[in-house]
Amino acid sequence: MAGDKAVSTVSKPVMRGLLNASIKRNLIISLALAAVSGIAFKQLVGTERKRKYAEFYRNYDAEKEFEEMKKKGLFQSC
């Protein structure tokens, strides 16, 4: 009877509600990853892009650009 203790029985797999549980888990994980990636993109790309646009338009002179293009002959009416 020593062999009885060495053999263990395998518990039955949980099949009831398995699809709902896996969908719920996958949905939570996907929403969390989407939120993290969205915040990371905004912080790493969006704010840097805003800063560069603000710097460009702070130093941009439209009249100077127009005069340079006019000198190059890019306009037919001027």
Q: How confident is the model at residue 47 (pLDDT cuts 50, 70, 90)?
A: very high
In a domain? residue 3:
no
In a domain? residue 21:
yes
Query: What is the count of structural domains for the chain?
Result: 1
CA distance 26 to 30: 6
Q: Residue 52 belongs to what domain range?
A: 17-72
In a domain? residue 38:
yes
CA distance 71 to 63: 12
CA distance 8 to 41: 51
Q: What is the pLDDT of residue 1?
A: 53
pTM above 0.75, yes or no: no
Q: How confident is the model at residue 2 (pLDDT cuts 50, 70, 90)?
A: low
Q: What is the pLDDT of residue 5?
A: 64
